[in-house]
């Protein structure tokens, strides 16, 4: 697990530049660094040693005649099988790393190497003969890759902060990203908050040669349900493939631990960790915000060494700046700060942890996936009648029970669902943002994904959208940044292509039904977990922002931000204060909307106003 960066072409002081860019991501790999540089390209690397921890595993990695140069971030879990296959084809290896499999595999198969890989990866290979650069990213986007062009130079990096240090890069705020962020709570890839800087999308590769950029998709998460599959067959297949995936993800030359919450996903992973370490954090605001007791009890039953931490409000608020700096882009998911703390704690004991990300998207775990069943009877009414009910409901006060049901039930899934998170409505955005800011319907962005799953049932459509947008823009972004900020490798055994093969064949009724979400997966987990844990309702990673924002201390912090200079650049601050005051006085629960704007202002203050990102008592925004 590592970080990489680089740029094409020759510039003044290129060695100093690539070193500065590489040092910016030292947290991703504090064990060693490496640089390759010639007149055509400069490539930098930071290493966190996991496999072949000796210096022989340092990068760059070369092929036999050193015509190909590799920098790699991630882990390839089937590298031993691929290594043997490549040796049989005549390739000679000089390390025991999984990295070297990529360079010889690329030499042998070119782009066709990618579908052969099982793992998480983002890597760069430079061909010194053909003078071409190849970048690739894993199937689900577990590991990041960003890129831009600066004049005649192509610049790339694991994190955007490396790119910002390239001479001549003009940092410009991307207003379109703010428009999307206000809807989704994150910057929707491939665009970023920095004009001209893009994410390489999951399951894509990129060629850069002769000043031209070409990107191609090499894999797609397609659902093709096998309606003949029985519950027993599904449970057997899930159990078998998941055990295989966990065992593959535990391959390491250093100790591996596991994150543990009260939910079924991480709990299922933890059952394969008997005698090893698990880690949990929570808040001292009752069981709703504290999963520690659940995790303690489960740890005793499955026989793991459990470690936990209660996060104080002062610690949480005092690290908002640091977290938003590490994120590169604003993320309004309040759990990312909690994830920072559990990663920090785990890094004191291990270098690698496994976690439960991806189970909800693959197996149908989010509570909102119940919505098609909830609307089933209502949608039998004529569409015109439902639209009339919706029109009337819109004029009713927000306290009217059933208002949201009537409105959403009149819409097709393509209109009502933009992903697992939906923040401000279009009308709210128009009132909130200044007139010079773009305001678009989020459905304009999601349409291309829905077009790919025409004819599928609504639950499958929701899962497909979440895998391609929410999972990439929120879940995996925070998982990578918060673990790497603490020099910790986070692995996600649910997000494995072999696991997806099984999940993609499950009938809809074995994913989401009236009994539960993740139905078949929970049945598999019940073979390893107490029923109460396997059947526990989806909780997420709850953070008490709702509570804090009704306390005067934190209300004032946010009020100062909402009425400050930065807020006035982008927002109608009277509208911001309406949201804040409604929440503070208990009239409405606006905590997630407030947090979305507040986090953006903190982030902007750091990246565009030059504010400090060091931890402090109060995240003051100018």
Q: Which residues are catalytic?
A: 5
- Which helix (H) or strand (E) is 179 found in, with range? helix 175-184
Query: What 3-state DSSP class applies to 13?
Result: coil
Quickly tell me which residue has 């899934």 as its tokens. Answer: 413
> How is residue 590 annotated by DSSP?
-
**Cβ(313)–Cβ(548) below 8 Å:** yes
Cα distances from 200 to residues 94, 124, 203, 326, 342, in angstroms, run 30, 12, 9, 19, 28
- Which helix (H) or strand (E) is 355 found in, with range? none
Residue 151, strand partner residues: none
Cα distances from 25 to residues 29, 394, 517, in angstroms, run 7, 49, 39
Separation of alpha carbons 467 and 452, rounded Å: 13
Dig out the tokens for 594 from the structure.
Answer: 């407030």
Helix axes 320-327, 476-484, angle to 10 degrees: 110
3-state secondary structure 279-301: EEEECCCCHHHCCHHHHHHHHHH
Q: Which of 264, 158, 165, 149 is nearest to 210 (CA)?
A: 149
User: What is the number of H-type helices and E-type strands within the chain?
Assistant: 28, 17
- Strand spans (E) along 412-566: 489-491
Residue 68, strand partner residues: 127
């Amino acid at each position: 697990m590592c970080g990489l960066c680089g740029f094409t072409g020759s510039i003044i002081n290129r060695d100093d530049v690539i070193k500065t860019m590489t040092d910016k991501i030292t947290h991703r790999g504090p064990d060693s660094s490496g640089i390759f540089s010639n007149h055509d390209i400069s490539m930098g690397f930071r290493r966190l040693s996991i496999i072949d921890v000796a210096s022989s595993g340092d990068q760059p990695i070369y092929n036999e005649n050193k015509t190909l140069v590799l920098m790699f971030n991630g882990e390839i879990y089937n590298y031993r099988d691929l290594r043997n296959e490549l040796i049989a084809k005549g390739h000679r290896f000089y390390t025991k790393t999984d990295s070297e499999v990529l360079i010889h595999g690329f030499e042998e198969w070119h782009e066709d190497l990618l579908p052969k890989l099982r793992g998480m990866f983002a890597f760069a290979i430079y061909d010194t003969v053909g003078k071409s650069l190849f970048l690739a990213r894993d199937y689900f986007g577990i590991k990041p890759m960003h890129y831009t062009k600066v004049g005649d130079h192509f610049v790339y990096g694991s994190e955007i902060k490396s790119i910002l240090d390239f001479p001549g890069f003009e940092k410009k705020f991307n207003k379109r990203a703010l428009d999307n962020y206000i809807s989704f709570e994150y910057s929707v890839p491939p665009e970023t908050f920095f004009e001209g800087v893009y994410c390489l999308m999951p399951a894509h590769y990129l060629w850069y040669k002769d000043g031209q950029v070409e990107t191609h998709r090499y894999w797609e998460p397609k659902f093709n349900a096998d309606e003949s599959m029985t519950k027993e067959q599904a449970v057997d297949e899930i159990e078998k493939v998941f055990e295989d995936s966990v065992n593959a993800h535990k391959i390491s030359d250093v100790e591996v631990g596991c994150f543990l919450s009260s939910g079924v996903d991480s709990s299922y992973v933890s059952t394969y960790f008997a005698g090893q370490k698990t880690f949990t954090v929570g808040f001292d605001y009752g069981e709703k915000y504290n999963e520690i007791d659940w995790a303690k009890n489960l740890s005793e039953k499955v026989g793991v060494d459990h470690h936990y931490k209660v996060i104080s409000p002062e610690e949480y608020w005092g690290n908002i700046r640091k977290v938003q700096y590490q994120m590169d882009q604003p993320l309004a998911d309040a759990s990312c700060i909690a994830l920072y703390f559990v990663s920090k704690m785990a890094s004191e004991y291990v270098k690698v942890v496994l976690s439960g990300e991806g189970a909800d998207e693959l197996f149908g775990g989010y509570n909102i996936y119940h919505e098609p069943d909830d609307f089933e009877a209502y949608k039998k009414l004529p569409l015109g009648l439902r639209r009339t009910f919706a029109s009337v409901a819109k004029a009713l006060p927000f306290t009217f029970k059933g208002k949201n049901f009537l409105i959403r039930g009149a819409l097709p899934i393509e209109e009502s669902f933009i992903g697992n998170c939906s923040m401000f409505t279009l009308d709210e955005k128009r009132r909130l943002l200044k007139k010079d800011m773009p305001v678009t319907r989020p459905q304009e962005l999601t349409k291309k994904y829905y077009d790919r799953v025409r004819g599928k049932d609504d639950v499958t459509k929701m899962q497909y959208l979440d895998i391609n947008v929410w999972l990439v823009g929120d879940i995996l972004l925070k998982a990578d940044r918060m673990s790497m900020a603490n020099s910790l490798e986070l692995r996600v055994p649910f997000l494995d292509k072999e696991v997806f093969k099984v999940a993609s064949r499950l009938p809809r009724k074995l994913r989401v039904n009236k009994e539960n979400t993740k139905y078949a997966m929970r049945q598999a987990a019940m073979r390893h977990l107490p029923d109460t844990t396997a059947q526990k309702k989806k909780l997420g990673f709850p953070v008490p922002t709702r509570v804090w924002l009704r306390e005067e201390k934190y209300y004032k912090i946010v009020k100062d931000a909402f009425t400050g200079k930065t807020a006035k650049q982008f927002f109608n601050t009277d509208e911001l204060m309406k949201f804040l005051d409604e929440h503070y006085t208990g009239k409405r629960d606006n905590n997630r909307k407030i947090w979305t704007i507040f986090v953006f202002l903190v982030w902007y203050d750091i990246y565009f106003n030059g504010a400090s990102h060091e931890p402090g008592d109060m995240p003051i925004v100018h």
